[in-house]
Each structure stands twice: as C-alpha cells, then as structure tokens.
Chain A
Amino acid sequence: MMIKINISSNVIGEPILAESMIETKTALNISQAHFDSTYGEIIAEVETDDFKSIREALESKGAKVTVLDHPIVRDEEECVECGACISVCPGHVFSFDEEWGIAQDIEKCIQCGTCIKMCPHHALSLEK
C-alpha cells in the first residue's frame, strides 16, 4: 500500500525515517520525497502487514502518516486507450497490455494528479 509521511519542521533534522525502518525491520520503498527547511513529505510503498508497526514507529517520533487510499480512477467509457497517460506517471501505473489496451497497477498510484492533466479525454480523476 502507498503511504504519505509528513515530517514537520521541529523534527526535520532527525533521522526518524531510518530509525523507524531499523526498529521495525520494515522496508519502505520511497517513490517521491520532498524536503526543505520547513517540512518534509515522503511517498512510499509498504507491505500491508508491516503498515501498523511502521506507522506506530513513525508517529511516536513525531511524523504524520496518511494512507493514500484514493488512487486514480479511470472512466472506461471516456478512455480511448491512447496511452497518453503512460509516460507522465511517476508511479508507472499505466502500461499497454498485449492487445494495446490500457493495463493499470493502481497500487502504485501516489495520487500526484499528473496524468489527469495529460488525459485528452477527461477520463481520469482522483475521486474522494
């Protein structure tokens, strides 16, 4: 599953990510990270079984963890299966199947919204 970890300015200098991973022996597969002096935001994939323990570890050190559970939705009526969305997605969610239709691996979606602007047919949305 995909999670978002927010680190606020008061703890930003501390290695809480590394500590939490070592403590819980959990691997976080980081797909995007943003840090500056005021905040940090990390998008990462974690095994569902490990989620509870890593969340506890991170939150005990002052981070905020949110589950990204509203991945991209594709309206199959609107979609013409062009493939325009494929190259812009940082999560590699979309690909062509053998018949040149669109295959998608929704689990990898980090909800960045980039594909929504790309789609010429308004077929994609991040519905809440």
Chain B
Amino acid sequence: MVEKSIEEINRRIKEGSVNVVTAEEMVGIVGELGAKEAAKEVDVVTTGTFGAMCSSGAWLNFGHPEPPMKMNKVFLNGVEAYSGVAAVDAFIGAGQLSETEGFDYGGAHVIEDLIRGKSIDLHATSYGTDCYPRKTLDTTLNIYDLNQAIMINPRNGYQKYNVATNGINRTIYTYMGSLLPNYGNVTYSGAGVLSPLSNDPDYQTIGVGTPIFLGGTKGHIIGEGTQHSPETNFGTLMLRGDLKDMSADYIRAANFHEYGTSLYVGMGIPIPILNEQLAQSTAVTDKDVVTNVLDYGVPSRDRPVLRKVNYEELRSGSIEINGKDTPTSSMSSFKKSREIAGELKKWVAAGEFFVNTPSQRLPAKATCKPMRQTTRNPLVQDIMAKDVVVIDENATFHEAAKMIMENTFSHLPVVSEDGKLAGIVTAWDISKAVAETGCNYVKDIMTKRVLTSNATDPIDIAARNLDMKEVSAMPVIDKDRYVIGIITSNDISKLFARRR
C-alpha cells in the first residue's frame, strides 16, 4: 500500500521537487506503471474544464452613497441584480436578461465586462427610510470602484452532463444549443478525461476548502453544489473566487439562441495522489465516462433516453442514433480545459499552489429530488371545449359558413369520410372562398396541415405551440385522429389570468 500525506506533497511543492501531471498525462502513466508505482511517482494530478455554467454569479458591494440608500432594486447595465440583503450588496446572476436588450445581454455579460475593467451603469431605487433616505441613484462604476466583487457559483463543475438530440421535425433552441430536426445532430458538454469530479468520484480529496483554479486565479470549493447528486454520478460543487483577479481568458459570457445567457467558467482542481486508489481514479479515460443521450424534443422533465454513450465516442465527431451516423458538437472547450489543467500544473510546479485536506467531506450519498407540486398542472382536457362541431370535407363552403354563424366557434375542424381529422376552416378561409371562383367545397378551402393537440398535453405546451405557430385554435384529437375537442388561445388566456 502506498500512502502519502498532504504535508509530504506540500513539502515537495515547496522544494520544487513535486511531480505534477495533468489528468490526461496520468492515463498513460498508470497504463505504463500500474496504479501502485504511479502513486509513488506522481504527487498531484491537475484537472480542468471550461464550459457553460449557468449557475454562476457574483456578490458585489458598491460602498455607501451620500445621502445613504438601502438599495431595493438594482440594475447593472439594465440587468437586474438581486439586492434583498443589506443596503449596498447585490448578487448579479449569469442568466438574468437585460430589461432592454433581452437575449443579447445578461448578467454573464455584466460579469465579463466587470472583469475586463469596463464601466458599468448602476441604477438603483428604494423606498427610503430614516436611516437610508435616498430613493434613486444613477452612477457609473467599474470593478476597481467596488469593495468586493466575489464570484459565488451555486452549482458548477458537474461531474458529467446529459447529451442532447432532438427527435421532432423542427430545430429547437436549448441550453445545449441548436438541435436540428429528426436527430440531425448531437450536443454534449464536459471535459471527459479532464473532468474534475470524474477524477475523484469518491470525494477523497475534493471537499470544503479545497483550493482550485477559478477563472484564472485561485478560488475555493465552499461546499457541494445545488442539485448535488453523487449517487447518480451527477455531483456538483459550490465555488468561490475573487472576480477582481479573474481574467476574461477563462470567464466568458455566452448567448444561447432563444434560450438566454450563460457564463463559460474555467475551473480546475488539483488532486493530491495520496494512495493507489487515487492514482487509479485519476487514470479515468474518455471511454470510462459514460452518460445518456436524451431526446430534448420531448418537453418534459423525464426526457426519453435514446442510448448510452461515452466521451470517446462523443469526441470522435459522430455517434449512431437510430442507425444513423449523427454529427456531434461539444458545447464546452476541450482546448481550454487542457489549458487550465496545464496552467494549474505550472502553478503547482512553480511552488505557488499547495494542496490541502478538506475541512469537511462532501456528501457522497445524495440524490436530487424533483419538485413537490401541490397544484395539479392543468391539461388540455381540463379546458378544451368538448362540444366541438365538425364538418365533412365534401360539404359546400356555404354550409360551413352557416355552421360558423350558428355556433360560437370561429374554427371548424374538417373531417374526411371516415370521420378523422382532415383539415380546418375559419371564417377567413370562407371569405377568401367567396372572393375566388372554383372553390366550392370545404376540402378546396381548408387548411390541410393542422396543428393539433392531445387531451393529456399540459396546457403550457399547448400554449407554446399556439404561440409559436401563430394560430389561435387547435383541434384536440385522440390517437386515431378523431376530433374530441378544440382548444383556443382565448381559453388559455382566461385560465392564465385566473392563475395569476
């Protein structure tokens, strides 16, 4: 049994005799020497990752203005920062969008601009108190004007990520990027062989107080991250670092089309090799890190798993989905991850960065629960009109016009001879038919590609479909395409108005 102490390793770091390698290099070393010899040889293994970590942000302290103010609402370049704490502190979150620029600028951009030393417009409002009389404030400041600018990331460094693809027939825009229709591409995140938590999956050395590389400077792990789920191999970390010392080489704002903003965070953890077991776990390869490919076309928490896949396959450029070779895209940068592991290695080798024993271990037994929901999510069947009137496709448009006049619906589902949905007509289609010649039957004037809904679809999904396709009603059909109801955007607005 090889046993080394933290003190021994730190002494070598101090003396300049430490043997530090990256997690990529460790694979070869353990392959050649075996875990036992490698544990004797190698003192520290460095890891690195650089990818979108939405759960990031920074606490800023602005100092007190004159007259003083208890800032109640705070905006930085138009992006709201949370200030429900003491008078002049605020938390700027990476995912908060600008009130004026929307998807183009968000909290992540404020953070990058701060790091770059740019000027930021601060706007704050308050209700005014005896001790803090001021009600509004506008000023321009930069990171050097702040007392503290501390990055606190509630959930970073995910051990691994689910892989995304899309089975529906349109492109969808997600936090995993653009997913092309009909399983047209696959996107993934994470650094595989270099992934910090995959290199110490038992949390032997990674814990509260572990020093890390964060954004180009030294930071710390302050605990397990939110949604920490080590039992399912989805462990996470909560991180802290000084924004004032960070570099835009390793902290970058990002925009995901039609999704929002996020922050690319560069992070690396040094793993002291105290024993053979750690030598073995830091020899993890891309092939060993296995994850699931999910169909993001299904808008549900429980997305169907299409297959298992490892990082070696993902990084080969394509994987097979339903028998088809499908191109893969990484959303995180392996090149940067490597740079980070390399940088951390240099710091350790130069005697500038030491390892330690965590002041507290992270929970190794925990899973992430879904939300407890006490109100039932309304379904289409709860609000659809069930007494829907349909018309035969062989009826004349005069008959259709009459039916629309007699009923309160402005949309008339059209059925074919076997009673199944064939199209839809609206009052507008009928007026067009009157103006044109040669269209006598409903089947000539109806819209054939009808957007439909299922009775058991959640209302939110029906509402989004109506919105996106810019239509105002959808027939509700059963599995054989018989019309069992109709749902309109009007019904939905009424429901949402009640919910508020």
List the interface of chain A (C-beta within 8 A of B): 80-88, 95-96, 99-101, 114, 117-118, 120-122
Contact = CB atoms under 8 A, between A and B. Distances in A.
B336 to A, nearest CB: 6
**Interface SS, B side:** strand
Nearest to B331: A84
Given A88-B178, A88-B185, A117-B173, A81 B329 contact: no
B65 interface: no
A100 B187 contact: no
A84 B264 contact: no
Contact of B187 (A84, A114, A121): A84
A27 B450 CA distance: 42
**Interface SS, A side:** loop
B281 to A, nearest CB: 23
A84 B177 contact: yes
Given A100-B333, A121-B264, 9 more contacts: A80-B264, A84-B331, A86-B329, A87-B185, A87-B187, A87-B328, A87-B329, A117-B178, A121-B253
A87 B186 contact: yes
A88 B329 contact: yes
B411 interface: no
Contacts, number: 72
B70 interface: no
B72 interface: no
A80 B331 contact: no
Interface in B323-341: 326-336, 338
Nearest to A114: B178
Contacts of B229: none
Given A84-B331, A114-B178, A100 B338 contact: yes
Interface residues of B, number: 31
10 contacts: A80-B264, A80-B333, A86-B330, A87-B326, A88-B177, A88-B180, A88-B329, A96-B317, A117-B257, A121-B264
Nearest to A102: B335
A5 B99 CA distance: 43
Contacts of B327: 86-87
A120 B329 contact: no
B213 interface: no
Contacts of B425: none
A82 B173 contact: no
Given A81-B333, A83-B330, A101-B335, A120 B177 contact: yes
Contacts of B228: none
A84 B330 contact: yes
B328 A81 contact: no
Contacts of B329: 82-88, 118
B255 interface: yes
Contacts of A100: 333-335, 338
B50 interface: yes
A41 B187 CA distance: 30
A96 B254 CA distance: 21
Among A82, A85, A99, A117, the one with the most B-chain Cβ atoms within 10 Å of its Cβ is A82
A121 B254 contact: yes
Given A80-B333, A81-B335, A82-B331, A118 B252 contact: no
Contact of B52 (A81, A86, A118, A120): A120
Nearest to B262: A120
Contacts of A122: 255
Nearest to A79: B333
B256 interface: yes
Contacts of A84: 177, 187, 329-331
* 5 tightest A-B CB contacts, nearest first: A87-B329, A87-B185, A120-B254, A87-B327, A83-B330
